[in-house]
Amino acid sequence: MKLSEIKGKSMEELVEMHNEMAKAQGANEVKKFKNLEAGRIAVIKLANAAKPKSKADKAATGGGQEGRPRSGVGKRAKELILAGGSNAEVMETIKKEFPDNSTTPSCIAYYRNALVKEGLIQGGRQKKADKTEDKPADKPAAKPVKGKSKKKAEAEE
């Protein structure tokens, strides 16, 4: 429905139109609107909500292959990672199943990292060891003294 279709309607007519559509859709009925413009907007919103979805909208929410519900690249990539696939294997499968998608290896790494953060898998990289453990704790590191050789600085201490 367009604004031009209801431009000349009175408040009573707008309320009646709104309540008819609201009753059919299970929405709340109204007694009046704040003003004519608010009534027009409410009627247009209800009328447009009742329209059937386009073929593209139906396809996006409809069934996928073999009657399964559609799933996106992210969901499928996570399934493959949880099944033990490497990033390269997952990427290869995603490219076959979603040929028009622009998924990159970075995307697959993102999904793997998300699963690590959720605690569903362990991360591949280990943290580096703390370098302070290599130094002996009892001997402080010597600081060079400007203008003097190391032997002269030790002799003066």
Q: How many folded domains does the chain comprise?
A: 2
- The answer to whether residue 61 sits within a structural domain is no
- The answer to whether residue 136 sits within a structural domain is no
d(CA 53, CA 87): 37
- The answer to whether residue 155 sits within a structural domain is no
Do residues 80 and 108 both lie within one domain? Answer: yes
Q: Distance from CA of residue 16 to its chain's centroid?
A: 41
> Is the pTM for the entire model greater than 0.75?
no
- The answer to whether residue 74 sits within a structural domain is yes
Structure confidence at residue 78 (pLDDT): 92
What is the per-residue pLDDT across 101-149, written as a single tens digit (0 to 9) for each?
Answer: 899 999 999 999 999 998 888 876 544 444 455 555 566 666 665 665 6
- The answer to whether residue 76 sits within a structural domain is yes
Residue 16's domain comprises 3-51
- Which residues, other chains included, contact 77 with Cβ-Cβ below 8 Å and sequence gap of 6+? 90, 94, 103, 107, 108, 111
Confidence check: pLDDT of 62 > 80: no
- The answer to whether residue 152 sits within a structural domain is no
